[in-house]
Structure 1
Amino acid sequence: FAVNDITCVGALSAAEELGLRVPHDVSVVGYDNTSVSRLRHLWLTTVDNAGHEVGRRAARFLLDRFERPGGEGRLHLATPTLEIRGTTAPPA
């Protein structure tokens, strides 16, 4: 697992330098589902942290706070999803 998709690209390069085949010898997973993960020559398995939804909600809650100052704070969680692509496979 890599801390983000860009780091995952580095892990893919390191695996190649070591002669490891992804995903045959090792699976690699990124985090944040950036546009890099969807490039066909990489096609990274990654965790989508729902960043767009988090931003949309934050903007809505900020506007609500302007309309009703002093209101009670709220906690809203966004559910991440696993985007399975070409860098993971079951163990051999």
Structure 2
Amino acid sequence: PKHPDFNRRFYLLGDNPDAIREVFTDELVLFLESNPYYHIESNGKAILVLNKERLLGVQEIKSMIYFGLQLKRILHSKSGQNS
């Protein structure tokens, strides 16, 4: 496998395997591999990012916001969107 750590840590499931492969570019996979602290789910229309099952501290919230902004940038760069 091209990304053994990603394949070990993440489980991708969907009706369209080709579309999943198109979204999960090397850039996105490497980004997710380098941020092992988050649990991510999507229904195809929205993304849910979870960290811990407790209230987060200020620094943890800032880190999660930064993660979300970086994830948005990567996903939008793939789709050609800028906002």
TM-score (norm 2): 0.22
Relative CO higher for 1 or 2, CA cutoff 8 Å, sep ≥ 6?
A: 1
Pair member with larger Rg: 1
